[in-house]
Chains A and B, each alone.
Chain A
Amino acid sequence: MSEDKVRSIDGATVELLEKARKENISTAFTRADEIKPCPIGIEESCCKICAMGPCRLPRSKKDVAKERKGVCGATIDTVVARNFARKIAAGAASHSDHAREVVETFIKTARGKAQEFVIKDEIKLLAVALDFGIAIEGRDIKDIAIELGEKALKEFGKQHGELIYISKAPLKRQEIWRKYGVVPRGIDREVVEIMHRTHMGVDQDYRHIIQQATRTALADGWGGSMISTDLQDIMFGTPVPVLGRINLGVLKEEQVNVIVHGHEPLLPELLVVASRDPEIKALTEKAGAKGINLAGMCCSANEVLMRHGIPCAGNFLQQELALVTGAVEVMTVDVQCEMQGLQSVAECFHTKLITTSDRAKIEGALHIEFHPEDGLDTAKKILKMAIENYPNRRHAVYIPDHSQDIVAGFSHETINYLLGGLFRASYRPLNDNIINGRIRGVAGVVGCNNVRTPHDEGHITMIKELIKNDVIVLTTGCAAMACGKAGLLTPEAAQQFAGSGLAEVCEAVGIPPVLHLGSCVDNSRILIAATAMVKEGGLGDDISDLPAAGAAPEWMSEKALAIGQYFVASGVFTVFGTTWPTLGSENVTKHLFEEYEEMYKGMWAYEPDHEKAAQLMIAHIDKKRKALGLEKARERVLFDMAMRRALE
Chain B
Amino acid sequence: MSEYTYEEKENFEGTKVKVLGPTYDEGKPVEKDDWQAKLGSRGDMLGYLRTALRYWYSKEWYGSEKRKQEA
Contact = CB atoms under 8 A, between A and B. Distances in A.
Interface of A: 121-123, 126-127, 130-131, 168, 170-171, 238, 240-243, 309, 405, 407, 413-414, 416-417, 420, 422-426, 436-438, 440, 469-470, 490-492, 494-495, 499-504, 507, 510, 531-532, 534-541, 632-633, 635
Nearest to A635: B15
A495 B19 contact: yes
A355 B66 CA distance: 51
A501 B46 CA distance: 36
A563 to B, nearest CB: 23
Interface in B1-23: 9-13, 15, 17-22
Contacts of A127: 49, 53, 56-57
Contact of B32 (A240, A502, A531): A240
A131 B51 CA distance: 16
A407 B28 contact: yes
A123 B20 contact: no
A417 B11 contact: no
Interface residues of B, number: 46
A490 B30 CA distance: 12
Contacts of B34: 240
A500 B17 contact: yes
Nearest to A500: B9
Contact of A633 (B13, B21, B22, B33): B13
Contacts of B38: 422
Contacts of B20: 495, 507
Contacts of B10: 500
- B11, B33, B36, B39 — which one has the most chain A CB atoms within 10 A of its CB? B11
Contacts, number: 146
Contacts of A423: 47-48, 51-52
Nearest to B68: A171
B26 to A, nearest CB: 5
A437 B55 contact: no
A229 to B, nearest CB: 15
A499 B15 CA distance: 12
A67 to B, nearest CB: 48
B21 A495 contact: yes
A499 B12 contact: yes
A507 B49 contact: no
Nearest to A540: B64
Contact of B71 (A469, A535, A635): A535
Contacts of B26: 490-492
B51 A538 contact: no
B8 to A, nearest CB: 9
A487 to B, nearest CB: 12
Contacts of A504: 11, 17-19
Given A416-B53, A437-B11, A437-B15, A537 B36 contact: no
Contacts of A426: 52
B64 A168 contact: no
A240 B33 CA distance: 7
A632 B15 CA distance: 9
A622 B49 CA distance: 34
Given A123-B45, A171-B71, A499-B11, A492 B55 contact: no
A405 to B, nearest CB: 6
Given A122-B45, A127-B53, A535-B55, A417 B35 contact: yes
B36 A121 contact: yes
A242 B29 contact: yes
A494 B9 CA distance: 14
A632 B13 contact: yes
Given A491-B26, A495-B19, A499-B12, A126 B35 contact: no
A502 B9 CA distance: 11
Contact of B64 (A414, A422, A536): A536
Contacts of A492: 24, 26
A423 B10 CA distance: 33
A532 B56 CA distance: 9
B52 to A, nearest CB: 3
A407 B46 CA distance: 29
